[in-house]
Amino acid sequence: MRIALIKGDGIGVDVAEAAMAVVEAALRRTGQTLPHYDNICAGAGHYKDTGLDIEADGEQRAGAADAIFLGAIGLPSIRHDDGTEISPHLRLRDRFGLYAGVRPVKAYPNAPQRLADPRAAGIDLVILRESTEGLFYSAATHKRSLVVNDDEVQDILRITRKTTTKLHQFAFNLARKRRERGSPGHLTCVDKANVFTSLAFFRQLFDEVKGAFPDVPVGYNYVDAQALDLVRKPWDFDVLVTENMFGDILSDLAGGLVGGMGMAACAEIGDTTGLFQPAHGSAPDIMGQDKANPLAAILSGALMLDYLSEKLDRPVLSEAAELINSSVETGFQQNNLRPMEFGGDMGTRDVTRQVLSYIEETA
Ligand code: ATP
Ligand code: MG
């Protein structure tokens, strides 16, 4: 198993190392061999040193691995001459067509909760965000909006049959898999089909795919109502599937209901590879101080093992993933995970050590 490892900038380096230590421990505990790493230099620091945002053959090497793991990329102090951010990871998303953005949102005991309702302890959902088209299409593909004239600018909301059908299939499979693991396993199509032809098409494609998954209960919600429902009754949802920008907004909203940036794991999956990373950035304000919460990266490591389990047809890898997830869960339950991010007393190393000890103790 080969992992392309891009540690990147700032706290990205620390949390990526923490995540790989945990991944290795889980592999050892389940009797498996350790991965081969291909360390790829990329990011703002690398750009400053070399003038390249990623090593010359870095993209191609990333694609040759079984999966890509990324810490975080970018530093506000180092940008391109035109002021744009250093973002080689967005090129990876384009190059490998990483259309399925997976953002789990889960409440952990003793982690911050925004909602007073006791049912909030049961928040456990996944937002699936199309990541290559939708309303970000103009920005991603044209690098800018379409300027019609001095007084008008337009962006395009692009929905294609090919990508959207794959996205919905991914969503139905995910809902099914979650049900096998004890979640409700229902799927909500989030759109604005009443207003946009493109999003009516998104829903039509959802309905076309639905027939092949009669066991998955489905629902529909307009995105504005979904935003309200995520605040009013987030515990009622399991898997949400939506277009690019709606998913971007809803996943920040949902992430804000439980914990902080340091808990938000993320996977971006394409046909041939997947990229796994914490949803947060390089956090230059806390870098080098052992303050970063590594759990978002660690949980992304579990997402990666789950993905590799299917890709390489090695079910035992998802046992390793489950071991990581349950260690984090138990750690919070027993109040032994107290990240500084939430006002606790545990820095990056202490949190990592604690997760490792749970993994090593598990019989
Ligand atoms: P990007 O543009 O790459 O998303 P950003 O400017 O949105 O980056 P982040 O780097 O994600 O910002 O940081 C936002 C805030 O959250 C900062 O105050 C940072 O310290 C905090 N933060 C981010 N990640 C973590 C973490 N893992 N642990 C603790 N605090 C974090
Ligand atoms: Mg950000």
CA distances from 41 to 30, 36, 47, 84, 265 (A): 30, 16, 9, 20, 22
Query: Would you place residue 260 in the very low, low, confident or very high pLDDT band (cuts 50, 70, 90)?
Result: confident
What is the distance between the alpha carbons of residues 105 and 128, in angstroms, rounded to a whole number? 11
Q: Is the CB of residue 280 below 6 angstroms from any atom belonging to ligand 1? A: yes
pLDDT of residue 137: 67
| Alpha carbon of 182 to ligand 2 centroid (Å) | 32
pLDDT of residue 151: 87
Atom 25, ligand 1: residue with shortest CA distance? 262
N-terminal to C-terminal alpha carbon distance within the chain: 25
Q: What percent of the chain has pLDDT over 90?
A: 88
Q: 32-41, 200-209, 252-261: lowest mean pLDDT where?
A: 252-261
SS3 assignment, position 298 = helix
What is the residue whose two structure tokens read 């309303």? 135
Per-residue pLDDT of 65-94, as tens digits, reads: 999 999 999 999 999 888 888 999 989 999
Atom 21, ligand 1: residue with shortest CA distance? 283
Atom 20, ligand 1: residue with shortest CA distance? 283
pLDDT of residue 155: 85
Q: Is the CB of residue 115 below 6 angstroms from any atom belonging to ligand 1? A: no
How does the average pLDDT of the chain come out, rounded? 94
Which ligand has the shortest distance to the CA of 70?
A: 1
Per-residue pLDDT of 203-254, as tens digits, reads: 999 999 999 999 999 999 999 999 999 999 999 999 999 999 999 999 999 9
Question: Atom of ligand 1 at shortest distance to CA of 295?
Answer: 27
Mean pLDDT of 281-289: 95
pLDDT of residue 153: 84
Q: Is the pLDDT of residue 141 over 90?
A: no
| Alpha carbon of 71 to ligand 1 centroid (Å) | 12
How many contiguous H segments (helices) and E segments (strands) does the chain have? 12, 12
User: Does ipTM surpass 0.90 in this model?
Assistant: yes
Mean pLDDT of 342-349: 96
CA distances from 50 to 43, 55, 282 (A): 10, 9, 19
User: CA torsion sign, 136 to 139 to 145 to 146?
Assistant: negative
Cβ neighbors of 123 (< 8 A, separation 6 or more) are 105, 106, 107, 234, 235, 257, 258
CA distances from 101 to 44, 172, 269, 282, 335 (A): 24, 14, 6, 20, 31
Which ligand has the shortest distance to the CA of 278?
A: 1
Closest C-alpha to 295, from 305, 316, 280, 317: 280
Q: Is the CB of residue 286 below 6 angstroms from any atom belonging to ligand 1? A: yes
Question: Atom of ligand 1 at shortest distance to CA of 341?
Answer: 29
CA neighbours closer than 13 Å in the CB half-sphere of residue 168: 25
Residue-wise over 229-255: b if at least 16 C-beta within 10 A, else e?
bbeeebbbbbbbbbbbbbbbebbebbb
| Alpha carbon of 290 to ligand 2 centroid (Å) | 20
| Residue to mutate, 266, 280, 295, ligand 1, most ligand atoms under 8 Å from C-beta | 280
Q: Is the CB of residue 261 below 6 angstroms from any atom belonging to ligand 1? A: yes
Phi first, then psi: give them for residue 272, nearest 5 degrees: -115, -20
pLDDT of residue 140: 60
Question: What is the DSSP-derived secondary structure letter of residue 293?
Answer: -
